C-alpha cells in the first residue's frame, strides 16, 4: 500500500470533479432535483473518504513496521468507511425522489447519485480505469439510452363525458388517428343533475414521439369532455 501524495490528491479530486460535473450536467439540463453541484459534491465526498481510508491503511502499516518489537495485533479495515458511503448515499438519493399525484419522479437522479458516489470511491482509491470507464457508461445511459431503446409506455387515462355515442366515437377516432392502442377499458355511468355522466378508464399504449400531455390537451378540447386525467396503472 502506498502513501497518498499531494499530487495524487489533486489529480483524484480534479478527475472526480470533471466526471461528476459531466454526469450532473445532464440532470441539470433536464431540470432534475440534483444537478451539477450536487453530483460533484457527492463524488468529491466519496473520493475524500476513499483517500482517507487509504491513508489510514498506509499509516497502520507504517506503524506496524516501526513497532515490530511489540507483541500486539494491529488491524485496519479498508472497507469500513467505504461501506458507510454506500449505505449513507441512500438518504441523499431518497431526498431527490418526489411523489406527486401518484406519479414518482427522481428515481433516475437518485440512481445517478448512487453511481456517482461509486465512481468517486473508485477514483479516490486510485482505480482510475474503473472510475473513468464507469462514468462513460453512466453518461451514455443517462443521455443516449432512451434514444436508442424505446419502450412504448402503458398509461391509464380517465375520461368523464356526456353524450355517450358522439363522444365515444370522437375518442376512438382520436386513438385510431394517432395510433394509440387501447389495451383495456372500464366503463361506468352516474346520474348527475338529470344528466348521465359516463366514465371510461382506458389502458393505452402511447407510440414513440407522442407525449401524454398532448393527448390530454387534444381530447379536453372536445365540448362533451368534463374531466380527463391520468390514473395509476
Least confident stretch, 19-23, 135-139, 167-171, 229-233: 229-233
For CATH 3.30.70.260, list the domain ranges present in the chain.
154-231
pLDDT at 233 over 60: no
Q: Would you place residue 15 in the very low, low, confident or very high pLDDT band (cuts 50, 70, 90)?
A: very high
Q: Would you place residue 150 in the very low, low, confident or very high pLDDT band (cuts 50, 70, 90)?
A: low
pLDDT at 90 over 90: no
Give the DSSP letter string of 172-198: HHHHHHTT-EEEEEEEEEEEETTEEEE
Rounded mean pLDDT, 214-225:
88
Rounded mean pLDDT, 79-88:
76
Quote the pLDDT of residue 73.
Answer: 63
Q: What pTM was computed for the model?
A: 0.66
The predicted-structure confidence for 39-69, as pLDDT tens digits, reads as follows 998 899 899 888 888 887 777 777 677 777 6
Q: How high does pLDDT run on average in the chain? A: 82
CATH of domain 154-231: 3.30.70.260
Scored b (16 or more CB within 10 A) or e, 91-126 reads ebbeebeeeeeeeeebebbbebbebbbbbbbbbbbb
The predicted-structure confidence for 152-179, as pLDDT tens digits, reads as follows 667 788 999 888 888 989 999 999 998 8
**89 with 42: CB under 8 angstroms?**
yes
Amino acid at each position: 500500500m502506498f502513501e497518498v501524495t499531494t499530487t495524487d490528491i489533486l489529480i483524484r479530486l480534479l478527475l472526480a470533479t470533471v466526471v461528476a460535473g459531466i454526469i450532473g450536467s445532464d440532470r441539470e439540463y433536464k431540470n432534475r432535483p440534483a444537478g451539477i453541484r450536487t453530483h460533484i459534491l457527492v463524488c468529491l465526498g466519496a473520493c475524500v473518504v476513499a483517500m482517507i481510508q487509504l491513508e489510514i491503511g498506509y499509516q497502520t502499516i507504517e506503524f506496524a513496521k516501526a513497532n515490530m518489537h511489540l507483541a500486539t495485533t494491529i488491524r485496519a479495515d479498508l472497507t469500513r468507511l467505504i461501506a458507510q458511503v454506500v449505505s449513507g448515499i441512500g438518504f441523499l438519493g431518497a431526498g431527490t425522489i418526489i411523489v406527486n399525484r401518484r406519479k414518482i419522479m427522481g428515481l433516475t437522479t437518485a440512481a445517478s447519485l448512487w453511481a456517482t458516489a461509486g465512481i468517486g470511491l473508485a477514483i479516490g482509491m486510485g482505480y482510475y480505469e474503473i472510475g473513468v470507464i464507469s462514468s462513460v457508461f453512466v453518461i451514455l445511459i443517462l443521455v443516449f439510452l432512451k434514444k436508442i431503446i424505446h419502450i412504448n409506455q402503458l398509461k391509464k387515462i380517465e375520461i368523464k363525458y356526456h353524450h355517450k355515442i358522439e363522444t365515444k366515437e370522437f375518442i376512438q377516432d382520436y386513438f385510431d388517428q394517432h395510433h394509440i392502442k387501447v389495451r383495456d377499458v372500464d366503463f361506468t355511468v352516474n346520474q348527475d343533475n338529470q344528466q348521465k355522466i359516463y366514465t371510461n378508464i382506458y389502458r393505452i399504449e402511447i407510440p414513440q414521439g407522442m407525449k401524454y400531455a398532448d393527448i390530454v390537451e387534444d381530447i379536453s378540447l372536445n365540448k362533451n369532455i368534463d374531466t380527463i386525467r391520468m390514473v395509476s396503472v
